[in-house]
Structure formats: C-alpha cells, structure tokens
Structure 1
C-alpha cells in the first residue's frame, strides 16, 4: 500500500511541475503578473497563478488513485471524491479570479464556506469527538457547523501565512509528511480503516503538489501559488484532518494507547501551529484596530522576522524549524505513549528555535564587523542600512 501512496504523490509532483512550467510561460507571455502591493516582500512583478498548476496536480493524483491503485473504494468513496473535486474547483475558480482581479474578501469567504459546506454535506465531516475510550456524539447540525468552521479556519490560516518564497509549500511538505506518518502508524494499530486511508491519500497528494511546485517558488520565486494554491492546500489539509478526527473509535485502540485517542485533534493543530498563531494574531490585531479581519497588512509573523533582521530564506527556515519541532513532539505522544519524551523534545527544540528566531544572522555579522572580525560586501552593507532604518 505504501507504494500506492508514493505513486499518487509522484504523479501529483510530476504533473504540478510540468503544469507550473506551462503556467509560468503563459503568465509571462500574457503579462499576467500583478502590480506590486505595499505589503509585498518581492521587488519585481511576479505571476501568482501557481495554484492552477497545483489544481491540475491534484486532479491527476485523484485520477491515479482511482484508476491505478486500490486506495479508493470506487463505490463507497465516489461521493466524497466528487465532493472534493467540486469544492476544489470552486476554490480554484475564485482563487484565480482573486489572483487576477483582487476580489472582495466577503466574496472569497462565501466561496470558502460554500466549498466546506459541500464537503460536509457529502459526508466529509466530524461525526464525533474522541474522549477516553468513548465517543461524544453531537447533533448532526452541530457537526456540520463545526466541520465548516474548521475547514474555513484552516484554509485561511494557510493563506494568511503565504507571504515569503517557499513558505507555504515547505510547511505543507513538513506538516503533511508528519501527518502521513501518523496515519500509517494508526493504520498499523487499528488494522486499517477507510477514513484513515483517505486521510493518508490527501496528505500524500498535498506533499506531491508542494514538492512539484517548490522549485518554482523557492527564493527568488519565479511564480507564486497565490490564493488558489494556498486555499487548496488548506482545504486538503482540513479534509485529511476531518477524515480521521471524530471517525476514529478509541475503543479500537490498545488501551495502553489512551493518549492516542486525542492525537487526531492535537496533531492537526500542532502541524498548523505557526499558521494558526499568525491567523489568530492578525484577526485580533485588525479587529482591535476597527478593521475587517481579512484586510491586508504588513504585520504578519514572517514580516516581523524580516524586520528583526532575518533574510527571507532565514525567515522561511525558521517557520520550517518550528513546524518540524512541534509536529515531531506531538507525534512522539503516539509512538512513546507518554508525555515525557515529547516534553523533552519540545523543551529542547523550543530553546533551539527561540535562539535561532531571536538571533538574526545579519545582526551577528554586524557585531562581528564592528569588532573587525568580518568584512561585509557592498550589498550586505546596503541591506544592513535598510534594516537599521
């Protein structure tokens, strides 16, 4: 079965890469790169239609999973697959229009709610919440609302953090790789389940899409994924989360793994810790200022890392480091069945991440230069002067 997942991920990566090359050429030929905005970090107009290529990669991966593997039960999973295709098509359509025309935030939010609602209506929803070795089952209406809220939250959290070259693609690779590992461990423990396989399929697909697009998006990016790509990644991550959360019966687990019943809830939050933190801070900041929570500004976490003196690449790697540390610590709860080693990893990794975050390399170079231990080039001097201002 692992080969089937690898095949799907490879198809997604290959098709996304080929489509990205084609979309980039067409964008340059038709001059589809938008004008620079005040909050943008890049300095030259850059196409934002990479999400189109990622959507094509997703479509190819779904076809490959259905035709060439046994990962999809064509009878039982067909409605969910069609629902995912419809929801992703809606998100892609609105995302493309927004990347080209800059749509009103209310219209984008309405499309996100409609896409999440379509998925919840077709059964991709939280049906219960694990608690100990039992399940807490709420009303169908509450489950529906909770699912739509969760999916919309994750989509916007991922989209909010998309502000630096390679940031969302790299975080998606790390987060979904960890989530995929978790699904395989969970499948080995429970003997396999359709919802777990489906979650693993979505995670593998996202990894493939992100891997195929990252070469075009790495610093200095030739193309951005735009709202289309970021919202697609967020939606698929939410789908994989919901496919496990609330559909795993803790009673099917070894009773030594009581903590594991909480992992479907904890792990998605852990792998999205940085995007969710950025989203929460942005919403609170804008509401306090009397603005729309979806209005754009230049005070996201990645902007603050740049203002601290980190280069764009350093800021991206800091996000990678935090995501990997939090995800690994959470995953260890499942594998070790205790909180001791996860706490050790979290404490040690947290200190390391804080040191890296709070010690910008440019300031270290400036300190060494002031003491005659290093000579900066003209471009580095110019960068230092800009940061000092």
Structure 2
C-alpha cells in the first residue's frame, strides 16, 4: 500500500500548462532584462570591437548571457512555487543545481566578456560548474551500449563523475565554439532544448507523470524560453552578443537536461527492442555537438595540411562556406538550424513513433536539407559556371557578422 501511495504521489499526469507558463516566464524575463544588460555592458566597456579577422563593422556589447541567466532564475523560481511542479524539486535537485552551476558559469563568462580569460582558467571554471552538477546529483548513472549484447551499463561512482564531467565540459565548449553568427548559438539552444522538452514530455506520458522525469522537462523548457527571449536582440543584425557567459550557460543547461533525461532510462524500463529510445539522450547530445565538432575537425585537418597551427584563425568555417556558395547571413543560420533540428527532433521522436517511421521522416528531411544547402550553388552554375567559385556580391548576401570568438 505504501508503495502505491508513493507512486500516486509521484505520478499525476503531464503539467503542460505549467511548463508552458514557466517557459513563457523565462522568455519574457530574458527579453526585458537583456535590454538593461545591453546598456550596462556598454557602460562598463564589455564591448566587442572589430578586429582584423572580424567582419562586424561596429562595436557591439557582450554579456547577453546575464539577461538569459535572469530569465532562467525567474522561471525556475516560478516552477518551484507551482503546485504541479513543486514535487519535482522534492525528488530531484536538478533544477537548483542548474541555478548554482549556472551562477559559476556566469561569473567566469562575465569576467571573460569584460577582460578576457586564458583558456586554462576558463576550463577550470567549466570543470568547477560541472562538478557542482555532479555534487548536487546531476550525473550519468547508466549508459546503454547497443553493440555486442552489452545493454545497459550501470556506472560506478568514479565512472559516473568522469563521464558527466567529460560530457558537460564538451557540450559547454561546443556551444562556445559554435557561437560565431548572429543568432546561431541561441537558435541551436532553442531547437535542442525544445527537442529535449518534447522527449521529456513523452517520458512523462509513458510513466504516468512520474516526477523523476520533471527535471529534464523543466530545465529544457526554461532554456528554450531564455533562448527565445534573447533571439530578438541577437538575430542578424545583433544589438548584443551573448558572449561566453551566454554560450557556456546554454551548454551547461543542455548538458544538465540531457543528463537528467538519461538518468531514469534503463533497459529494464524499455527493453532492448526500444534501442533508439535508450540512445535518444546520446543522440540529443550529438545534435548539440555535431556542427561544432565537424567544423573543428575540418578546421584542424585544413590547417594542419597547410602547415599552420590547428588553432590559428581563418575564414573557412562551415558558416563561411555557406556564405561563399550564395546564402545570405540569415539563410546560412537557418540552414544550420535545419540540420541540427533534424537530428534533435529525430532523436526525440523515437519516444512517440516506431523507429522505422521516425527514420523514414529523418531520411526525407535530410534530403530536403541537402537540397536547401546546395541550391544557391546549383543556381549559380546554371547561370554561369565561371561564377561557381566566385564570391557572391548580391544584395541578399551580407558579410558574416561574428561574435567575439
């Protein structure tokens, strides 16, 4: 009887209205706070001035992540006060952990936005924030291996700590790396957070509203709202950059959301036949890291073959190439959005649909994405083959506007 009462207390449906309210609160708070942060950043001199390797033409304030953090804190506080969501704070410390670890990331990011930090100091701050997540209970406890009949591996304490630290720091740096076009990091954060939220809602539905699945839903909807509220300030042409404070906050929250989503999932609850459901948290992590990881790999190969340092800057990143083949700034960003959305929502869809149906849709979407990516180049080749490698000077193709990276 006591077990039934505990189960009834933990499962009370899916609080969709409350989640929507929390996300809306994050969006509205971020939107209005970012305007004030912009004035503050300008006053204290936290401004990205154009450098030789940059192409933005005017100084732009940084520190946009501070406005996002205000939105995150306001939304999580509201969630802790709503009766339908309060129980999630009783059974998990995931949401408070995001606030505390996010505060550490915010301090490190704001200092970097104003004065600049060396890579080692920044890395130490990221590890500290990730360690706070682990200490407060946000950690990978099991991993599903689909090969060799291994199945679900339950991690011991040390393995859990190392896996969580490695994945968290990797995602934080991936978002930091990809923050190069106006609206890109915020948009990718919004897309991936929305996919994790949908996946978490599916978990809630299939487990009768078990509050063990509240943390990924709340964290992801809060992040989606914060990114949505920031985008009007940051989409081309940006009035403020999110800076390292913002990109690292997005990475930290995506890591926390995917980690808490993976925690309760095990082979015993789904069975080996639902392999894609078990792998979905990892696929969502891959969606976050795909673009920056691929870009970084190509950059290292390209620079090494040219006899230069792998860390030397150039203008041959993926977004540069999209601009070179004829995409405008906004279209280049939207193309990258599309590719990440295919992976993220493809992974999330496995909780609702049979893998073969979800896979068919993903394959079709990939075909559309390929066409959308190369169609400007095909049009130019049809017009004049000699222009296929020439820079596009049409009015719709603006120069890339960088963040301070």
TM exceeding 0.5 = yes
RMSD: 3.0
Alpha-carbon distance in structure 1 between the residues aligned to 2:184 and 2:398: 23
Is the Cα–Cα contact under 8 Å of residues 192 and 284 in structure 2 kept in the other structure? no
The two structures have a TM-score, normalised by structure 2, of: 0.83
Q: How do 1:206-217 and structure 2 match up within 5 A? A: 206-217=223-234
Equivalent position to 2:327, from 300, 310, 316: 310
Displacement of 1:195 in angstroms is 3.5
Contact kept, 8 Å, 1:206 with 1:233, in 2: the verdict is yes
Give 1:89's aligned residue.
103
Instruction: State the 1:282 CA deviation.
Output: 4.5
> Does 2:237 align with 1:220?
yes
TM-score (norm 1): 0.86
Give SS of 1:71's match: helix
Q: Deviations 1:314-336 (Å, cap 9, x if unpaired)?
A: 11010111122222333333322
| C-alpha distance in 2 between matches for 1:160 and 1:82 | 27
1:12-67 Cα distance to aligned partner (Å, 9 max, x none) = 11110111111122334455323213343422111111111011111111111112
Q: For 2:364, which of 348, 353, 356 is the aligned residue?
A: 348
Measured against aligned partners, the alpha-carbon deviations of 1:259-290 in whole angstroms (never above 9, x if no partner) come to 42222222332354323433444566677767
Give the match's secondary structure for 1:129: strand
Query: Among residues 188, 195, 216, which one is paired with 1:171 in the alignment?
Result: 188
- Judge which range, 140-149 or 258-267, deviates more: 258-267
1:254 CA displacement = 7.1
Q: 1:58 aligns with which of 72, 80, 84?
A: 72
The answer for the alignment partner of 1:126 in structure 2 is 140
**Contact 1:325–1:345, Cα closer than 8 Å, also in 2:** no
1:159 and 2:176 matched? yes
1:306/1:315 contact within 8 Å kept: yes
**Where does the alignment leave 5 or more consecutive residues of structure 2 unmatched?**
1-14, 386-392, 401-405
Q: CA deviation at 1:291?
A: 4.2
* Counterpart in the other structure of 2:7: none
How far apart, in 2, do the equivalents of 1:27 and 1:380 lie? 34
Q: Secondary structure at the match of 2:152?
A: strand
Between 1 and 2, higher relative CO (CA 8 Å, sep ≥ 6) is seen in 2
Q: 1:316 to 1:259 in 2, by over 3 A?
A: closer
Q: Is 1:5 matched up with 2:47?
A: no
Which stretch shows the higher mean deviation, 161-170 or 65-74? 65-74
Structure 1's unaligned 5+ residue stretches are 372-378
Which residue of structure 2 aligns with residue 374 of structure 1? none
* Structure 2 match to 1:100: 114
Q: Superposed, which structure 2 residues align to 1:208-357 within 5 Å?
A: 208-253=225-270, 257-270=274-287, 272-282=289-299, 291=309, 297-339=314-356, 341-357=357-373
Aligned to 1:20: 34
Note if contact 2:329-2:399 (Cα within 8 Å) is conserved in structure 1: no
1:175 touches 1:271 (CA, 8 Å); kept in 2?
A: yes
Match of 1:183 in 2: 200
